[in-house]
């Protein structure tokens, strides 16, 4: 199986490439930087360029997308956000256009800028309001009849 690994020169990418090669897969490494170890099939490409991404994925059976700016502070927040979001969108869209059915993506909180990323607060459970919803409220049938508790008919 031919597998394209984006970000193949990075820490995670090198580990993915090694694992795939160990299992006999045909690997094409794609990155903006050359790998530290020689890789038989490597292409220098920026996956924030959609056309280039399509070219790299053409003829592949699968793609493992690990290309990203891996930590905050390495680039500006805007560059980190743009690079990580655009590259992911391009890989998924190229896979769709080419009919690839196997897409693996790795991610982290760094896809946003860590300093600006805030997890949304858990929504608080809304409690019913009004006299008929409070404990001890009277039943609708009349002001003097107690509200039925438990299951079944009163």
pLDDT, one tens digit per residue, over 35-49 is 888 888 999 999 999
- Does the domain at 2-109 match CATH 3.40.50.720? Answer given as yes
In the chain, domain spans:
2-109
| 3-state per-residue secondary structure call for the chain | CEEEEECCCCHHHHHHHHHHHHCCCEEEEEECCCCCCCCCCEEECCCCCHHHHHHHHCCCCEEEECCCCCCCCCCCHHHHHHHHHHHHHHHHHHHHHHCCCEEEECCCHHHCCCCCCCCCCCCCCCCCCCHHHCCCCECCCCCCCECCCCCCCC
> What is the reported pTM?
0.70
pLDDT, one tens digit per residue, over 101-140 is 999 998 765 444 445 555 555 566 565 555 555 555 555 5
């Amino acid at each position: 199986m031919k597998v394209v690994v984006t970000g193949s020169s990075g820490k995670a990418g090198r580990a993915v490439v090694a694992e795939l090669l160990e299992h006999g897969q045909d690997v094409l490494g794609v990155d903006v930087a050359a790998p530290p170890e020689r890789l038989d099939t490597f292409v220098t490409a920026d996956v924030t360029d959609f056309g280039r991404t399509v070219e790299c994925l053409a003829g592949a059976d699968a793609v493992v997308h690990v290309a990203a700016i891996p930590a905050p502070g390495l680039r500006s927040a805007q560059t980190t956000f743009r690079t990580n979001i655009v590259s992911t969108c391009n890989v998924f869209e190229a896979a769709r256009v080419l009919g690839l059915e196997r897409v693996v993506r790795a991610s982290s909180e760094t896809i946003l800028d860590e300093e600006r990323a805030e997890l949304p607060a858990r929504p608080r459970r809304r409690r019913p309001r009004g006299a008929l919803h409070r404990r001890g409220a009277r039943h609708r049938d009349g002001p003097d009849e107690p509200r039925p508790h438990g299951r079944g008919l009163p």
